[in-house]
Amino acid sequence: MDIKRIGVVGAGQMGNGITHVLALAGYDILLNDINAEALDAALVRIEKNIERQVSKGAVSANEKKSALARISTTVELTELGPTDLVIEAATEREDIKHQIFATLLPHLAEHTILTSNTSSISITRLAAATDRPERFMGFHFMNPVPLMQLVELIRGIATDQPTYDACLGVVERLNKTAASAEDFPAFIVNRILMPMINEAVYTLYEGVGSVYSIDQSLKLGANHPMGPLELADFIGLDTCLAIMNVLHDGLADTKYRPCPLLTKYVEAGWLGRKVKRGFYDYRGDVPVPTR
């Protein structure tokens, strides 16, 4: 099908990044969030990030102007009904995703493809709660969306080929690379990445090393661009914990048990960069380890 207008649900870090790249690629975007202030903040961030691309010569001033003109916002989820494709990018909680779909479904056009940017939850289970399991799939962008090349495409058991092909066409138009993943907990990237982060938290929990020494060891010893605890802060510790819980529950293997220290940080509200405190304290000029 010819996808022209796309609805994005959620104006947070992932939603505004997805909106950014889709608008630059020429799609008309309707960005939704329950919070009007979040929508305003998303537009400011998108403009700032595209301007950074303009300053580097990656995007022209006219392309920036055209992209921003393609973005509309709404606090009414039902207004996404006439779009050709919906990408749900809300928080990584299955109950919230079900609520979003239940509200949206009665208003969707028959042809509309419904997708989720979930990083771990079963696509088959999400699809089964909708009226269009054949036109439902996982559409998992990496963070930060404008910089990361990969998009995971995940079929549920009922996803049909035209739906997959349409989403693949969007990825190709974005000049990104698609990886096809089977519908297993956390798919490919997070199935590998999150246990590494969880093990880094265990290493901290058991006193093997400090925050600084753990991150430096992986950066200098394994050539990682970012240490695992720094990366966890960037992703959001609540998201990391949610994905580990999905792995632990879905695969029934104790090796995926979330570290108690990760749970403790989340319970304290120390969720990482988005709240300025996690494994590092970001409230000053320079991030300082909290342990």
The pLDDT tens digits for 93-104 are 999 999 999 999
Would you call 60 a catalytic residue per the annotation?
no
List 16, 119, 120, 198, catalytic entry: 119
pLDDT at 248 over 90: yes
What DSSP element (H or E) covers 69? helix 61-69
CA–CA separation, 187 and 123 (whole Å): 10
At a CB cut-off of 8 Å and minimum separation 6, what does 121 contact? 92, 94, 97, 246
Active site residue 79: no
Average pLDDT score over the chain: 97
Interval 133-142 mean pLDDT? 98
Q: Read off the pLDDT of residues 174-229 as tens digits, 9 standing for 90 and up.
A: 999 999 999 999 999 999 999 999 999 999 999 999 999 999 999 999 999 999 99
Is 16 among the catalytic positions?
Answer: no
Is the confidence at residue 23, as pLDDT, over 90? yes
pTM beyond 0.85: yes
Does residue 149 contact residue 174 with C-beta atoms inside 8 Å? Answer: no
Q: What is the pLDDT of residue 1?
A: 76
Q: Fill in the DSSP letter of residue 176.
A: -
Could you confirm whether 98 is annotated as catalytic? no
Active-site entry in 116, 152, 198, 230: 152
